[in-house]
Amino acid sequence: MEVQWVLVCHGMVTLTVVVSFLCGHSPVFKGTPIGWIHYFLTFGAWDYLLRFVEFVFGSKGTDAVLSVEGFCCDRPNPFLQIIYLLILGSTYFITVKSSFAYIPGYYIGEVHKYMSFGAVMIGVLLFLLTSFCDPGTVNAKNVSQYVSAYPYDDIIYSEKECPTCKIPKPARSKHCSICNRCVARFDHHCGWMNNCIGEKNTKYFMAFLLWHFLLCLYGAVAIGFILAGRVKELRIVHILTTYYGIKNSFRSLAPRVLQWLVGTYNTQILLLVFFALISLLLAGFFGYHLNLCLTNTTTNEKFKWREYTSLQKKISEAKASAAALKAGMSNTELERPAMSKWRGLWRRSEAKAESIVAKRNMYDKGNFQNISEIVFPLSSRQGFQKPYHKSE
């Protein structure tokens, strides 16, 4: 029973941490334990660590911690790449040692020993392609090509020069402070890849997310079949019904079978839960980035559009306040009963601004065309020097 409770607590804690980290920033969780955990994971833990180090070791200790942070987060380094390889290698090793002894089984064939190894190797290959492929570095030699391929929309992108590289800054590009280079169609800098995700390696990054989601899902299903096979081969249901007098129904048998599995195959259960949770996490990341690809938007542009929408909202609020004052309303009327009216107006203005953003994304040319630009980047096509124009 102790092992069972440990596994249950492990699963609940892991699920809570994953949900808090991914969703805790949402206004829905504001003031809730999920929101507090999210703040602690993203900001609070680091802040408390710095305070503790400063209390114990003084300013020199804080400087040492900040220097380590700078090395790990503010400049290229293979730290997270090594962590990824260690996680992948150790997880595969534990899976082999704990579960391959039951392959072939009642529901799973021996071929899965070799399929699993091949699947892991494909995952490593996609990792290497994403990590070491040029994301689309913009330099003095190719800047004119990128400027032609990606025109300015004069909303979130306008013609300007990169103050660091001293070259024209193409639309949809960004200067990465970590890599110290301008990257075309910049999405984000991925610490796990030690590389930027840009025009030329987004397809590998998407393939990496999708494949690792399928890999974890495959691991969870395969272990599930192994455990089901052990129940069948050892005739656990027959033993429970015949020798222990348990009623032959799902409601009566399921808790006992699960209890036996947890007590006998706890390592496999832990792996199954781990694979299931990571597959959900990767599914969320892949779904988010797939939506960006389908609308021909990047993570960087998502923030830019959010800033634009926020600015439009503030402008609408200012106009609404000015209109109220011009109508002769007193400050008291503005603060109390009339406020709901103007808030309604501001909400409508915000929704209108978001609608305008969707319509003004000149880079969105339909799902098929957007995906084709991911697979076949504009700068690699013949005749890409000819710019395309805004649609009316």
Please report, rounded to a whole number, the percentage of residues in the chain having pLDDT higher than 70. 86
Among 29-43, 206-220, 374-388, which stretch is predicted with the lowest mean pLDDT? 374-388
Q: What does the pLDDT look like over 247-276, one tens digit per residue?
A: 888 888 888 898 898 889 989 999 998 999
- More reliable by pLDDT, 10 or 91: 91
Burial of 263 from C-beta contacts in 10 A (0-12 / 13-18 / 19+): middle
pLDDT of residue 176: 94
The pLDDT assigned to 326 comes to 78
Q: What is the predicted pLDDT for the residue at 392? A: 32
pLDDT above 80 (res 391) = no
Amino acid 212: pLDDT: 97
Active-site annotation holds for 190: yes
What would the DSSP string read from start to end of 201-268? THHHHHHHHHHHHHHHHHHHHHHHHHHHHHHHHTTHHHHHHHHS---SSHHHHHHHHHHHHHHH-HHH
Per domain, the residue ranges of the chain are 1-74, 78-133+211-309, 142-184
Taking the whole predicted model, whether its pTM rises above 0.85 is answered as: no
Please tell me whether residue 293 adopts helix, strand or coil conformation.
helix
Between CA 109 and CA 377 the distance in angstroms is 41
3 state SS of 161: strand
Mean of the per-residue pLDDT values of the chain = 85
pLDDT digits (tens, 9 = 90+) for 274-320: 999 899 889 989 999 999 999 999 999 999 988 888 888 888 888 88
Q: In sequence order, which ranges of the chain are alpha helices (DSSP H)?
A: 2-23, 33-39, 45-57, 59-73, 79-99, 111-132, 143-149, 202-233, 236-243, 250-264, 266-294, 299-326, 331-335, 337-360, 367-375
Q: What pLDDT sits at residue 6?
A: 66
Distance of CA 158 to the CA centre of its chain: 29
Taking phi over 0 as left and psi of -120 to 50 as alpha, with beta for the rest, 245 belongs to left
Q: Which of 72, 190, 216, 293 is catalytic?
A: 190
Q: How many residues does the chain have?
A: 392
Two tokens, residue 278: 């990571």
